Amino acid sequence: MIPDTEVTTMNMTMDVPRTTDAARTLRADLVERAATLRPLLSGNADPADRERGVPAENIGALAEAGLLSLMRPARYGGLQTDHRTLLEVGREVGRACGSTAWVTSLLNANAWFVGLFPARAQDDVWAHTPHARVAGVVTPSGTARVVEGGYRVSGRWTPASGCAHADWAVLGVTRPDAEGTSDAVGIVLAPMSELTIEDTWFVAGMRGTASNTLVGEDLFVPAHRFHSVPDAIEGRYATPFTDEALYRAPFVPTAALVLTGPQLGLAAAAVDLLVERAPGRALALTGYTSQAEAPTVQLAAAHAASLADSARLHAYRAAADIDEAARAGVFPDYDARARMRMDAGMAAVHAREAVRIVCSAQGASSFGESNPLQRVWRDIETGSRHAVLNPEVAAEIYGKSLFGIRGTVSVMV
């Protein structure tokens, strides 16, 4: 059972100074809505893991609470919040269920991607179905052949987190006829009704995300539903609604940061479990009848809680930088974007280490099938290794940028 109150009550005030009181009030309200759902979500966490899918009950409750419309434009009835809010909601949901948090964050993130497209493409998704949800895989695993009026798209895209609950998909493609030009790589929008889902998600952690494979075969995508990825990386978005700050945020840092919310929640859940359980358990093969009295467990609690806080601080700093740049209408330079990606990677590393310390402190029982800590451990070991969060790649990019070396590791900066 996950306790109702957090052990760590430190006030994380790192936020964009110009965030309005109304925005902070809405954020607090949304986090509270997520907290209210925790008993339901934590109760469904084991079935989600065991049955390899987030229950429809979870998705329905999240949608009713408005937690799947955080990144949808207000023009379509969305909340159009900010990335700090998305992180905090993802964290709160992650305290109850890592897979549900991951799906929550990714469905919201893909809605943000749609907000970068031309108005006509956004209308295709939301004009007649304003609650439409979007999954996606940005990795260019498909091809887009130019035809009159658009493209013929084929490919296989994985892992497509949340696809079981989505109406549309963002799909990464290459344009073979544009090889060597700036438009060689892009993302397209396609309705899920034109795609098939292959059951391929057999993994150790984040099993409930059902991040299966999307398959498309020669489906027509009109031209307005293509967006150049190189343009997006440089902040050249197709949306005509340039007064909407949220959709001015930098592409790659945002794509990395949105993955950290669930990690923050899993780290918090692990610390909560340690502090809840340690007082009632003896430390095996010692004279301590309560683990809470043992210095080794006290130190573990301190280190794990501090690492969980460090993860939040890194993530919230990146969110503040992203939200402030978007609000000011300033596209961050390469070095700033490199640091944002580094922050996201470090948040994942610190969160993962916090969980590892808790598992070590709790010993072999951490990995009992009936212990929720084993699911937390499997989830964070899996989720924190998403390619965009890769801390070593992020460090190489950041380290080179500190020496003025740019653009030699990856275009994803």
Q: How far apart are CA 155 and CA 23, in angstroms?
A: 40
CA–CA distance, 311 with 350 (Å, rounded to integer): 5
pLDDT at site 220: 98
The fold of 249-403 is Butyryl-CoA Dehydrogenase, subunit A; domain 3 (1.20.140)
The pair of structure tokens assigned to 163 is 């696809």
Question: What is the per-residue pLDDT for 12?
Answer: 56
- Give the pLDDT confidence score for residue 5 in this predicted structure: 43
Q: How far apart are CA 13 and CA 28, in angstroms?
A: 13
- Read off the tokens for 148: 């009159």
DSSP characters over 14-68:
---TT--HHHHHHHHHHHHHHHHHHHHHHHTHHHHHHTTS--HHHHHHHHHTTTT
Query: What is the model's pLDDT at position 179?
Result: 75
Q: Residues spanned by CATH 1.20.140.10 within the chain?
A: 249-403
Domain boundaries for CATH 2.40.110.10 within the chain: 134-232
For each of the chain's 413 residues, which pLDDT tens digit applies?
444 445 444 455 578 877 888 999 999 999 999 999 999 999 999 999 999 999 999 999 999 999 999 999 999 999 999 999 999 999 999 999 999 999 999 999 999 999 999 999 999 999 999 999 999 999 999 999 999 999 999 999 999 999 999 999 999 999 988 877 777 899 999 999 999 999 999 999 999 999 999 999 999 999 999 999 999 999 999 999 999 999 999 999 999 999 999 999 999 999 999 999 999 999 999 999 999 999 999 999 999 999 999 999 999 999 999 999 999 999 999 999 999 999 999 999 999 999 999 999 999 999 999 999 999 999 999 999 998 888 899 999 999 999 999 988 888 89
Q: Which CATH architecture has domain 21-116?
A: Orthogonal Bundle (1.10)
Cis check for the bond before 295: say yes or no (omega within 30 of 0): no
pTM: 0.94
Distance separating alpha carbons of residues 282 and 246, to the nearest angstrom: 50
Residues of each domain in the chain carrying CATH 1.10.540.10: 21-116
Length of the chain: 413
What's the CA gap between 247 and 357, in Å, rounded? 38
Closest to 151 (Cα-Cα) out of 186, 122, 180, 120: 186
Q: How many other C-beta atoms can be found within 10 angstroms of the C-beta atom of residue 295?
A: 8
Please report the pLDDT score of residue 3 as a whole number: 43
Which residue's entry shows tokens 């007649």?
128
Q: What are phi and psi of 225, to 5 degrees?
A: -100, 25
Closest CA to 70 of 225, 246, 252, 324: 246
Q: What is the model's pLDDT at position 8?
A: 42
User: Over the range 140-177, which residues count as b (16 or more CB within 10 Å of their CB) and which as e?
Assistant: bbbebeeeeebbebebbbbbbbbbbbbebbbbbbbbee
Fold of 134-232: Butyryl-CoA Dehydrogenase, subunit A; domain 2 (2.40.110)
Instruction: State both tokens at 174.
Output: 């290459």
Is 388 within 8 Å of 333 (Cβ atoms)?
Answer: no
The HSE-up count of residue 392 (CA atoms within 13 Å, CB side) is 1
Q: Is the dihedral of CA 177, 141, 249, 165 positive or negative?
A: positive
Q: Which residues contact 108 (CB under 8 A, 6 or more apart)?
A: 68, 69, 70, 71, 86, 258
CA dist 295 and 317 (Å) reads: 32
Sign of the CA dihedral 404, 407, 383, 363?
A: negative
